[in-house]
Amino acid sequence: MKLLFLACISPKTGNHTTAERIRSHIESAGHTCELRDAAAFTSAAEVANLISRHPPFEGALAIHLLRAGSLLLDIQVPFGIIFGGTDINEDVKVEQKRVVMEQVLLKARFAVAFTDKLKEEAELFLLSQSSKIYVQPQGIQTEVSEKFCWAEFLRSSGVSSEHVDELRVFLLVCGLRRVKDPLYLVEVFSEWHRENPLNVLVVIGPRIDPVFTVEVEAAVKKTAGVFLAQERSQRELHAAMKRCFTVVNSSLSEGMSAAILEAMDLGVPVCARDIPGNAAVVHHEFTGLLYSSPQEFVHQSQRLLSDHELRERVVRNGKLYVEEHHGLKQERETYRRLVDTLLVA
Q: What is the pTM of this model?
A: 0.86
Cβ–Cβ under 8 Å, residues 111 and 122: yes
Write down how long the chain is. 345
Cβ–Cβ under 8 Å, residues 92 and 126: yes
Spatial distance between the Cα atoms of 314 and 269, rounded to a whole number of angstroms = 6
The DSSP call for residue 271 is: E
- Which value, in Å, is the radius of gyration of the alpha carbons in the chain? 21
Spell out a b/e string for 47-64, using b for 16 or more CB atoms within 10 Å of the CB, else e. bbebbeeeeebbbbbbbb
If we measure between CA atoms, which residue out of 207, 324, 337, 193 comes closest to residue 265?
324
Look at residue 171 and give its three-state secondary structure: strand
From first to last of its 345 residues, the chain has per-residue pLDDT tens of 999 999 988 766 778 889 999 999 999 999 999 999 999 999 999 999 999 988 899 999 999 999 999 999 999 999 999 999 889 988 999 999 999 999 999 999 999 999 898 999 899 888 767 789 999 999 999 999 999 999 999 999 999 877 888 999 999 999 999 999 999 999 999 999 999 999 999 999 999 899 999 999 999 999 999 999 999 999 999 999 999 999 999 999 998 899 999 999 999 999 999 999 999 999 999 999 999 999 999 999 999 999 999 999 999 999 999 999 999 999 999 999 999 999 886
